[in-house]
Amino acid sequence: MDNLRPNDLHPGQGGETHQVADADHPVLTTNQGMPVSDNQNQLKAGRRGPTLLEDHVFREKMNHFDHERIPERIVHARGTGLHGYFELTESLADVSRADLFQKKGDRCDVFVRFSTVAGGAGSIDTPRDVRGFAVKFYTRDGIWDMVGNNIPIFFIQDAIKFPDLIHAVKMEADRGYPQAATAHDTFWDFISLMPESTHMALWAMSDRTLTRSFATMQGFGIHTFRLVDKAGKSTFVKFHLKPKAGLQSTIWDETVKVAGADPDFQRRDMFERIGRGDYPEWEFGVQLFDEDFANSLPYDVLDATKIIPEEILPVRIVGKLVLNRYPDNYFAETEQVAFCPSHVVPGIDHSNDPLLQGRLFSYLDTQLKRLGTTNFHQIPVNQSKGSRSGVPFNNLQRDGQMQMQVPKGRANYEPNSLAKAGEPGGPREDPNGFVSFPAHEEGPKLRVRAESFADHYSQARMFWRSMDPAEQAHIASAFVFELSKVSIEHVRVAMMANLRNVDEGLASRVADGLGMPLPPASKTAAPVLDLPPSPALRIIRGPLEKHTLKGKTVGILIADGTDAGELATLKAGVKAAGGHPMVIAPKVGAVPLSDGTSVKADAQLFGQPSATVDAIAVILSEAATKKLVKEGAAVQFVMDAFGHLKAIGHNAAAKPLLDKAGVEPDDGVTALKGFVEAAKKRYWDREANVRTLA
């Protein structure tokens, strides 16, 4: 593609960028050859109104996109599903009539699917990527699907751009690679030309996309929704899930080595946690606000590229989500589960967020194509577990491929009078059923974006300035790495021009890392504001970073002659602290110990590098140490643990192995006696001594 010149770009009324046709770029049309005037916005009723079903341009584009792949999901193809329950810990009856929010202590079953976005079903678990966090609540009033992510915002403001985003991030069309990676030309070309994506780009380059475990990441509903009470009053809401195990991420070098050692690392982690009864748990919280509060903010709550910081509007914890059972069959449940944002229950409703409005159409359309039938709701994992009618579902929709029901009677329409003639009359409307909130909407039919959506940099600046210095270094280094993989120079230049609007320091660090001069800042559609930092957004030294061993795995390296007492004492200490000890040895068979007994190793040294555990301890005899200092895998095991800022415990005899691995003394390198306490955290201050960052 030729370099874009300033006159190739036309600013829309809401600050969005339009790339217009010229001599080098033909006119964009629909599949029927109709010229398209606006490829940035859905058709809306007024500037901030709902999108309209008559938008045939959007429907054609999204229909085609939804049907591009079969049977694998187009996005979120690689997933991990788990059963569990939601329990209400504080009633929300004051703001919602939703059944699951009424009585403290009430429970409903859930099915949760975690996923990566960009890669196919056969890709790895641990790429730098957003993670899906979709929850299916089986309530007494039907199914509610909260189709969220582990990041509270998204790349785009309007769903009509979703096919373009995914086409850009997926494997490049001419070569079929890279798989599950953003470090390539087409992704950054798109991002550099979409200023609204800048905020999400910073999140994507942060440690949020290098999650250690599904159990240690947050979940967000992303959009603004409505809760509606029994009187019909609406309250805006944003949904949050906070991990009880705390937020944990990996380091890039660690991530790469985990991927090489175990492509199924996060999937396996969840399976093993469930197996040992270490059930993942999240606090379920809400941010509740009204129209006046929304209007007081310097950004639009209908803009999916924005958050409401917790310092401005605290999250009210009202429930807990616990996962306690792995699926009996991966395909039948995890692969066939169908989430749709349009699946809501009385008391929960949608807002006019244009990204959400598009998802309401797209997800259902995708499920129809991928599962091949309108009857996908009859698949057990998708089936409601009860309703007011006493059965999972009850309507007059009939037939269709894979119909599992055998309806009785002649009447497959409503209304009918056959019940009076002794025939089953079928179900009828319930005045207490779902009622859409009667929001007043008016305005001309327009393809525009509200001017309140035009600020693309203020929250990106807030996010950057909220980060811990260690996280800032990781973000800047991620930009350098990703943009170094971009072969088209003007794409790198355009991205750095956008970053100058976020923070001069960030842009300078990226430019220096690439060895390129800083270009002038790109033009902005709205003034860039200095919003107050939000420390709640941090992982490192943030409110959800927990110094605990609960749920973590400690790798204990042993070999022939290891002291039996030291091993037993350490294993007991790790278990008492809630951790999981994993004995690692050069061989997985019986390892003879100092007292004549033996122990079977849980893993082999060559197949279980230290990147796959949370901390390590080395308990060796002098004779074993002399052998292992000559074994590259053993040296690398210790070297990586030190480089990945993990705690390292050791007995006296193992000290030469640590010396060979270049381990330097600090608070995280301890004797066995103090190791359990040290193993509860990472040692971020060590990082400056072990790697160069931007």
Catalytic residue positions, numbered: 76, 149
The Cα 41–Cα 450 span in angstroms is 10
In whole angstroms, how large is the CA radius of gyration of the chain? 27
Bridge-based pairing of strands 131-139 and 107-116 is antiparallel
Q: Which H or E run includes 471? A: helix 469-484
- Angle of CA points 576, 581, 587, to nearest 5°: 155
The answer to whether the Cα torsion of 52, 56, 57, 58 is positive or negative is positive
On the CB side of 181, CA atoms within 13 Å amount to 17
The Cα 245–Cα 236 span in angstroms is 29
- Residue keyed to tokens 């500037």: 47
The Cα 348–Cα 229 span in angstroms is 9
Report helix, strand or coil for 311: coil
The Cα 239–Cα 356 span in angstroms is 14
Report helix, strand or coil for 590: strand
Going by C-alpha positions, the residue among 375, 366, 373 that lies closest to residue 74 is 366
Is 45 buried (19+), middle (13-18) or exposed (0-12) by CB count in 10 A? middle
Scored b (16 or more CB within 10 A) or e, 445-474 reads eebbbbebbbbbbbbbbbbbbbbbebbbbb
Residue pair 550/579 in contact by the 8 Å Cβ criterion: yes
Q: Which H or E run includes 321? A: strand 316-325
Return the bridge partners of 22, or none.
25
DSSP codes, 191-248: HHT-GGGHHHHHHHTSGGGSBS-GGGS-EE--S-EEEE-TT--EEEEEEEEEETT---
Going by C-alpha positions, the residue among 477, 470, 475, 481 that lies closest to residue 460 is 475
DSSP codes, 540-561: TTSTT-----TT-EEEEE--TT
Q: How far is CA 338 from the centre of its chain?
A: 17
